[in-house]
Amino acid sequence: MNKKNTILITGADGFIGSHLAEKLVKKKYNVKAFVLYNSFNSWGWLDHSEKKILDNMEIYPGDIRDPYCVKQAMKGCNLVIHLAALIAIPYSYHSPASYVDTNITGTLNVLQAAKELDIEKVIHTSTSEVYGTAMFVPITEDHPLQGQSPYSATKIGADQMALSFYRSFGTPVSIVRPFNTYGPRQSARAVIPTVITQIASGKKNIQLGALTPTRDFSYVSDTVNGFIAVAESDNTDGEIMNLGTGFEISIKETVELIGQAMNTHLDIVMDTERIRPEKSEVNRLCSDNSKINKLTNWTPEFHGREGLKRGLKKTAAWFTDNKNLAKYKSDIYNL
């Protein structure tokens, strides 16, 4: 990928997108950041980026659900990294239609514009949730897909839409499938920020849902580096690639590691509001990342138990900074 190329990042105002946009600017790429238009003129997490980074980034407010807006944003770009999506499984129970509009139709808008504009490369963001509860571990890209929530169903639909454009029209699409990314700026809807913000707010009784499910947690810098590795590779078109560490740990053990990182003893209180319906809970996730390593040479820096402990310390340090903690509402349950 030529450094003179212009990269559009959809969802650049979000958790992973903002980290990715900043890293690409530091690597001297031309970055156009597609952020959700709103009356507050908020650029999401990019509002907190360094001025010298923002001075070297073009901000494009819009809505991924608007095909005209998406096509206008993509004009003049060589590469599109598509991260814009509605996340959070509980809210997808509440408002599934909005997930269809954003995750499926939004992806279609990107693909259609890429086809019409002859974009050189599209990287579409999937999620490990498309696998549902693991039928075997480690999970390879050939694992069956299971829509265990409206969120995961729409991400499966978006993935298949991306693959259909590759197969039908030769649109150069790569699919990156991150496992559970965590780190600074993550939404409090996720378990790690939920625990850290409750502790940082002085709570000793930590409210959580199910504790037995296992996850494969990836520190955000590893996820960002994975996206960049795919962007800079010439042999990932039409490929689906897991982006995980291959280390599996239960929610309960993760909470214990957070307590250790923050030098705090925790008592966990089961909150029934946070428990997914039985058939919707994903009980086990653990990635096989050998494919992305083979195609791009990417490997995670924060791997295994020690890597997770290092990542949790860095994450806790960011969240416990008062100016960062003030951005979160730790006293309510975020759907």
Confidence of residue 206 (pLDDT cuts 50, 70, 90): confident
Rounded-to-integer distance, Cα 34 and Cα 80, Å: 10
Classify residue 80: in a domain, yes or no: yes
In the structure, what pLDDT confidence band is assigned to residue 334 with cuts at 50, 70 and 90?
Answer: low
Confirm whether 87 is domain-assigned: yes
Q: Residue 80 has what pLDDT?
A: 98
Reduced to 3 states (helix: H, G, I; strand: E, B; else coil), residue 217 is: strand
CA-to-CA distance for 125 and 224, rounded, in angstroms? Answer: 12
Cα 6 to Cα 24: distance, rounded to the nearest angstrom: 10
The residue-averaged pLDDT of 263-280 equals 74
Per the listing, tokens 């659900």 go with 65
Nearest to 211 by CA among 246, 181, 254: 254
On whether residue 121 sits in a domain, the answer given is yes
Residue 27 counted as domain residue: yes
pLDDT per position as a tens digit, 114-169: 999 999 999 999 999 999 999 999 999 999 999 999 999 999 999 999 999 999 99
Angle at alpha carbon of residue 120, lines to 119 and 125, rounded to 5°: 80
How far apart are alpha carbons 215 and 249 in whole angstroms?
6
Q: What is the pLDDT of residues 77-88, one digit of tens each?
A: 999 999 999 998
Where do the DSSP E strands lie in the chain?
A: 6-10, 30-36, 57-62, 79-82, 121-125, 173-178, 180-182, 205-208, 214-215, 217-219, 240-243, 249-250, 267-270
Decide if 133 is inside a domain: yes
Nearest to 273 by CA among 189, 193, 181: 189
Extract the tokens encoding 100. 């269809």
State the pLDDT confidence band at 274, using cuts at 50, 70 and 90. low
- Residue 219's φ and ψ, nearest 5 degrees, are -70, 145
Q: Beta strands 249-250 and 214-215: pairing type?
A: antiparallel
- Of 177-181, 192-196, 330-334, the range with the highest mean pLDDT is 177-181
Res 335 pLDDT > 60: no
pLDDT recorded at residue 188: 85
Distance between CA 174 and CA 186 in Å, rounded?
24
CATH number of the domain enclosing 168: 3.40.50.720
Confidence at residue 312, expressed as pLDDT on a 0 to 100 scale: 98
Report pTM. Answer: 0.95
Whether residue 129 is contained in a domain is answered as yes
At residue 203, the pLDDT reads 81
The pLDDT of residue 3 is 64
Q: Which amino acid is at 234?
A: D
* Of residues 209 and 74, more confidently modeled: 74
* Domain presence at residue 69: yes
Are 21 and 71 contacting, i.e. CB atoms less than 8 angstroms apart?
A: no
Amino acid identity, residue 158?
Answer: A
Q: Are 199 and 255 in contact (CB under 8 A)?
A: no
Q: Which residue has the higher pLDDT, 139 or 330?
A: 139
- Domains of the chain: total: 1
Q: Classify residue 278: in a domain, yes or no.
A: no
Residues 61 and 37 sit within 8 Å (Cβ to Cβ)? yes
User: Containing domain of residue 133, as a range?
Assistant: 6-181+218-246+285-303
